[in-house]
Structure 1
Amino acid sequence: MKFIDRTKIAVKAGDGGHGKSAFRHEKFIPKGGPSGGDGGKGADIIFVVDTNINTLLDFRYNRKFIGNNGGNGDIKNQFGRNAPDLIIKVPAGTIIKDEDTGEILADLTKEDDTAIICKGGRGGRGNARFSNSANRAPSFAELGEPGSSRKLVLELKVLADVGLVGYPSVGKSSLISSVSAARPQIAEYHFTTLNPILGVVRVGPEENFVMADLPGLIDGAAKGVGLGHDFLRHIERTKILIHVVDASGIEGRDPVEDFHKINNELSLYSDKLPKLPQILAANKIDLPEAQENLVRLRQLAQEKNLPFFEISAATKQGVDDLVKHAYTMLINYQEPEEEPVKMKVYDAAQKQADEIIKVSRDMSGDFVVSGKSIEKLVAMTNFANDEALRRFQYIWRLKQIDAKLRDKGIKEGDLVHIGDMEFEFKD
């Protein structure tokens, strides 16, 4: 199965059901009052972690998710049915971003983590809700509120205890295959591993941890060169890094220089990555060419105060000691303190911002009226109903939109756009 770790999808919550305009017509009550019920709420779009899923592959073939609309209101004050929420299952480690703004909407890391990404529209109010002392028999009802929609980017970051980092062909794939049941493709060419590979490493009967063989880094990875960001995003989830270098240098590379270059790429990508605990593992010590570089690598580990292990993934020499030490570090690992995530709170200031109405002009010179409150009013008004139209005109005047349009220089016959509605201005 191909590992998919980034994809784009579109989601739309359900629209609210329409309110009903109706009057009671019962025996002995020839002129009953208004009895139209409210519409039901549209479906929310909710993302939930499912530990039985480990890739985003399903989203490659299903890129659009639309929630059901709420039921319409009915006579005798019957409310429309609320639509069931649309649940979208994702693997643990999924980050959900708004494609247009890049804003992180949710970071789902644990089983049953949940995030409401789009809210369903509320149901329109039936005419019974508009009855008052001034108007005892309103004939209009609201349309359902449209559900919100977004274009999303889903990113999956591998959840592993230990991550293997290093240049291509230093032996990371060979190492994970020698200590776990993972069987990555292994060959004598660069970028054999194009996707993260997870393996469970068993240290004892009840002692194990998850190791990730991550795609090899190259110079410029932090800027997106090569596998770049596709690689680096996965490292952020790991607790400990095993930095694998090719001690033999048989491909003409200097393992000490490689160590510094890899760490430089990590620091360029994120301030957090250089702070992760590291183990330096000098691989391919079974080759004669390795002996000369081992002296320099031991000195490097001493200078950097890093645990140092000389191993051969091919012969398994030193591998057990490396695994046991990594497990000991995991037992003693302490999560770094992070700043609490700032949650968005819909407060009075936000409500006030939603009430702001702006008037602008588009490329064709038409006038555009924008603002959450007025756009919502337009979407929920049944303009085919005279009483509903009069109510809209009353609110329009109350919000002094005519004055705002005149300030912008509107003239008789100019076109005005509000959401999906277009009309000709008449003074």
Structure 2
Amino acid sequence: MAGDLSDDTWQDLYEGIERVLPVRDTSTQRQELARLARVYRRLDDDGRAGFLRRAAAHLGVDEDGARRAAEALLEDPADPAAQVALRRALTPRFSDLLHLLTGLDGGVKLLVDLRADLRHLARGELPMVEAELEGHLATVFDVGLLELERITWGSSARLLEKLIQYEAVHEMDGWEDLRDRLDADRRCFAFLHPAMPDEPVVFVEIALVTGPPTSLGELLDREAPTCDAEDADTAVFYSITSCQRGLAGIHLGTELIKTVVRELQRELPHLERFVTLSPIPTLRTAALDLEEATRAELDDGTWIDGDDAGVRRQLLRATARYLSTRVDGRVPDPVANFHLSNGALVDAVHWRANTEDYGLERSWGVMASYRYDPPAIAANAATYAAGGDVAVSEDVRALAT
């Protein structure tokens, strides 16, 4: 049963932490830390926030030791021993606890959830803990330590269940929907961590089609005929989902897309295009270059079942401008910024691409395609990072003018 963190419980946990931090006996450490993990899992939100705050207060930097080390380094800034001593003195003991927890059964997942709790319950309050956790998890989840796995209908039931649970872009309607998304003309790839074999870190869903699609319905229609993967010329990345809230800001989706492009090139060398069909979640709330009457007509929805020629032309032009114009150094839509930062270009904008309620509410049904051209990915990413022109196709450039 979940509960708060009493003073007695904290004191008991703290004394256990103090016992194991200096110990080099792994079995003793794991026994004590396993108890800490069990207690933490049973805490409610208030209890978890209390644990994080107390851990930050009691397991921080040794201020006196840091002062002495700094004074020693000031006497001889070139002294390697003094440099090492200051670095050690500035490392909070909380960092040592993180390293010990990593080796615990289920410890990596615990740390991921710990950071999710920190961001949710005490965001901005504990900067040292935030920095240590983010840095530690960035190392633990370095792309070189992750495993790329193609998810198929034959994958473990627990892993498949997680895909249904975590899918955040286009919700799955149960097992049959999942089965359709794993059909012969579909691909699903995930990054997994060896310490979390049934917990996807991030996954991407791909449709293999002939010619780039213009609507989401083409891809999600369960009654549509299956395309032979050998006949497909286009790979459409239509959903990418980061599954672990505690890994927010650790940009694994970037590496997943690049890795999957290479994997698809190896498996299906005849593919000509790698594109997305992506939402534009900020479009409806953006300050678009639209006439007031057009905006009112879009919002009242009469065009949905009527004549849409006027609003279509104006909205597509405004969307092309919105996706190719920087504000404060970046394109304001987060999905666009993600793909442009990864080296894609804005390839097309599509009218009535998602006419589900959530698509109309977000962006009046408009979606965007971003194209990953393998030879140009690195150059596009570098240009975007340096503040250069946003990479767009000729069609989008013409539409925006």
Q: Tell me the TM-score range normalised by the shorter chain.
A: under 0.3
TM-score by length of 2: 0.25
TM-score (norm 1): 0.23
- Which structure shows the higher helix fraction? 2
Q: Which has the higher strand share?
A: 1
Larger Rg: 1
Q: Which has the higher relative contact order, 1 or 2, with Cα contacts under 8 A spaced 6 or more apart? A: 1
